[in-house]
Chain A
Amino acid sequence: AQKVTQAQTEISVVEKEDVTLDCVYETRDTTYYLFWYKQPPSGELVFLIRRNSFDEQNEISGRYSWNFQKSTSSFNFTITASQVVDSAVYFCALIKGGTSYGKLTFGQGTILTVHP
């Protein structure tokens, strides 16, 4: 079975601070896919990134960056120079590879509040 753990329940920062959201996963599969989703107050889950288990290359997209380390089973997400609009709940999730469908296993989510 797969498991995703987001140990940080809530994080509060002041605008322009950098913040890292931690994600640790457990799976016995060699092929899997990792995701981050953002859930703003409106409630809709917004896709941010997908990574497959064979690609450990870190990724940067504007103020967002992701650090994938298979050695520690972690897929952490950093927001640089945070803004109030970044306030949301962030979910890390995993899909088992090698199957015909993708049941997402989610972490419990991290509530990020960015104060002006």
Chain B
Amino acid sequence: GAGVSQSPSNKVTEKGKDVELRCDPISGHTALYWYRQSLGQGLEFLIYFQGNSAPDKSGLPSDRFSAERTGGSVSTLTIQRTQQEDSAVYLCASTLGQGWETQYFGPGTRLLVL
């Protein structure tokens, strides 16, 4: 079956612009995670969605970052007023739902803020 998909694959934007990154989880997976991979910080957790529960936003680095998940499936990560330090690869993962289950990752979105 299809894996996790993310779009766009690459995004170049100017400082101060807003960007939206999209994630389509594996069909039937109820849990969805966003991570960020950057040279200085490695792989870090951003936000978690599980079904209809309130998301865990504890990893979001600032209030410029937000995410939503519509219909329990597709998720959008929005970064407002982008800064150069936002340049990174944004990875999405999904699982069937239990916390200990294996997370399957998408190919990521490479964001470059000029």
Contact = CB atoms under 8 A, between A and B. Distances in A.
Contacts of A52: 100
Interface residues of A, number: 26
A20 B102 CA distance: 23
Contacts of A102: 31, 33, 95, 98-101, 103
B1 to A, nearest CB: 15
A47 B56 contact: no
Nearest to B55: A101
Contact of B31 (A91, A101, A104): A101
A33 B45 CA distance: 16
Nearest to B58: A103
Interface string A18-35: 000000000000000101
A50 interface: yes
A91 B40 CA distance: 16
Contact of B99 (A46, A101, A109): A101
Contacts of A46: 105
B35 interface: yes
A72 interface: no
Interface residues of B, number: 27
Given A44-B107, A101-B56, 10 more contacts: A33-B100, A37-B105, A43-B89, A43-B107, A91-B43, A95-B99, A102-B95, A102-B101, A104-B33, A104-B35
Nearest to A37: B105
Most chain A CB inside 10 Å of its own CB: which residue of B45, B93, B102: B102
A47 B3 CA distance: 12
Nearest to A107: B42
A105 B99 CA distance: 13
A45 interface: yes
A45 B3 CA distance: 12
